[in-house]
Amino acid sequence: MDWHTWIIIGVAVAAFLLLKRLTLVQPDAARDWLKQGARVIDVRSEGEFKGGHLPGAVNIPLGRLRDEIARVAPDKDQPLLLHCLSGTRSGMGKSQLKKLGYRNVFNLGSYGRAERIVGAQSGAGTKGDAG
């Protein structure tokens, strides 16, 4: 590949990362939603969740989100803060829930970012099967 191709790839990657960052809920807004009773939804796999999760988070893997969200949030006005490992699956989950009519759905992003935001409200993450 020549240097033009590398520049184009670099610009595309930077644009993707910027766009992804812009779709994340701001930390202060997320904390406000938490104070108003937002539910934290972890869309990672069950195995990832068992390996460590945020206190109070509910695990609904992305592939089951459409079918199981009504059990956790029957009210479509319920604020929901989604996260996963990197922020990609939670972004997809946000889109799914918006299409289902949920009005207050936000992407916390990665587990680490969610832990920093939610941890400021409730303490550190939980390891193992507890919670």
pLDDT digits (tens, 9 = 90+) for 76-102: 999 999 999 999 999 999 999 999 999
- Which range, of 15-19, 24-28, 93-97, 115-119, averages the lowest pLDDT? 15-19
Domain boundaries, the chain: 3-122
Q: What pTM value is reported for the model?
A: 0.78
- Residues 104-129: pLDDT tens digits? 999 999 999 999 999 855 544 454 43
- Looking at residue 124, what DSSP letter applies? S
b/e burial code for range 92-113 (CB count within 10 A of at least 16 → b): bbbebbeeeebebbbbbbbbeb
Rounded to whole angstroms, the Cα distance separating 18 from 10 reads 12
- The CATH code belonging to domain 3-122 is 3.40.250.10
Q: Are 42 and 57 in contact (CB under 8 A)?
A: yes
Rounded to whole angstroms, the Cα distance separating 112 from 84 reads 9
